[in-house]
Amino acid sequence: MNKLISFILIFTPFVSTFEWKVARFFKSVKSTDSIFSIRLRLLKLMKENLVVLNLWMEKEYKGYKNLKKSSRKKFYKNSEEIVKLFFDEYLKLPKLKNPYFNDEKLDFIYSIMRFLKPNKYYKYIKSASFFKLLKDPNKETLEGDCNQIVTLYIFLFSRKYNIEDLEIKLLPDHVCLHYKGIDIEATNGQFCKYDKYDHILPITEILSTNLLDITDFREKTRKINARVFLKSAQLSFAISSLREIVEKNLEYAYHNLAISTMKEKNFKSALFYSSKLKDKSLYSNIKRNYAINLYERKSYEKALKISKEIRDLELERACLGAMFNELRKKVENVKTISDVKLNRKTYNKMYDLALKMGDRTLADQIKKSYFI
């Protein structure tokens, strides 16, 4: 990184140009994008630096307060130290063949397993944040759950080989690494064979798995607003092939954002988000609230239009009555026949409104009194 770029980055929220690139990627992804094209873009970013990719994702969509710019810079430095320490051991130690078959990539995974064997540099903790793994391995023990340690395995593997050779296997409330029919249980550093499992998925789906994972209860988080939560759900939907699972998350996000924008009285946005839901009851409810808000702001004609659309007769009559009263105020001081003639259009409108309200007596009274 040259000095000019380093200087420019000081005035941005980004640690590096790659972090900037990652942020642009997440911002650009839409739930309607082709999953194939997204996977290609994701793979490219994962190969370049999965640590940065996953940590930025945690910052944006989990809201950990510990992921300020200075902290991320430290974590990235620690990740480089982890890589250095691993390769120092990898190059110095005798290459032990794994117990399955002769495969250099599996041998390399075996080396990662030996390096991250529990109680050496790593220990398992439940529901962890990714940055708990990004400690200085010379001073502290790396901590992480199944999602996070699998992510670290993938990162170390990517420093030497193409990660497209790897997959993940989803088990009930668990995930492991998968390579050519062999399960790698990263939490305890063992080869396994899980016969009962939910899915074997492309390696890119470790990111959607991390997005959908629960937040580390030990860490302080900022409140994630509904729009950011929606973006997270859209991203999960765009990345994952498990549409049935992530679709529920997306529906939940649209529902929350529709509610929050309605509370902000941003009814057009609320209607847009609620229109994405399969259940249309919220959409109808927001429309009624929008009509009531228009009525309260004396936009009676707009409120009347919506009340007709939702077939709310009570609100429709209220709008017609308010429109009638506004016209009546215009002519309440009219006393002469010549003034009546000048306001004929107003009386005609009042007559029409009286009919629409179903008040024939009032309509006849207007017709008789004002000669229309």
CB atoms near residue 236 (< 10 Å): 25
Same domain, 212 and 361: no
Residue 102 has a pLDDT of 74
**How far is the C-alpha of 178 from the C-alpha of 316, rounded, in Å?**
62
Same domain, 335 and 198: no
Which distant-in-sequence residues (6+ apart) come within 8 Å of 206 by Cβ? 147, 150, 151, 154, 168, 175
Return the residue matching tokens 């993940």.
Answer: 168
Whether residue 6 is contained in a domain is answered as no
Residue that terminates a domain, selected from 176, 194, 225: 225
Same domain, 85 and 214: yes
CB atoms near residue 151 (< 10 Å): 27
pLDDT tens by residue, 31-72: 677 878 888 999 999 999 999 999 999 999 888 899 999 999
Structural domain span for residue 178? 15-225
Q: DSSP alpha helices (H): ranges in 264-312?
A: 267-274, 281-296, 300-309
Range with lowest mean pLDDT among 11-15, 143-147, 213-217? 213-217
pLDDT tens by residue, 76-97: 999 999 999 999 999 887 666 6
Whether residue 310 is contained in a domain is answered as no
Residue 197 has a pLDDT of 82
Same domain, 203 and 348: no
Residue that terminates a domain, selected from 225, 250, 269: 225
Number of structural domains found in the chain: 2
Same domain, 214 and 361: no
Same domain, 206 and 336: no
326 pLDDT exceeds 90?
Answer: no
Residue 101 has a pLDDT of 61
Same domain, 217 and 341: no
Whether residue 9 is contained in a domain is answered as no
Return the half-sphere exposure (C-beta side, CA atoms, 13 A cut-off) of residue 14. Answer: 16
Residue 78 has a pLDDT of 97
Same domain, 212 and 339: no
Whether residue 265 is contained in a domain is answered as no
pLDDT tens by residue, 230-265: 888 888 888 887 777 777 777 877 888 888 888 888
75 pLDDT exceeds 90?
Answer: yes
187 pLDDT exceeds 90?
Answer: yes
Whether residue 322 is contained in a domain is answered as no
Whether residue 312 is contained in a domain is answered as no
Whether residue 360 is contained in a domain is answered as yes
Residue that terminates a domain, selected from 167, 191, 225: 225
Residue 1 has a pLDDT of 57
pLDDT tens by residue, 266-308: 888 888 888 888 888 899 899 999 999 999 999 988 998 999 8
Whether residue 290 is contained in a domain is answered as no
pLDDT tens by residue, 104-123: 899 899 999 999 999 999 99
Same domain, 218 and 336: no
Same domain, 181 and 58: yes
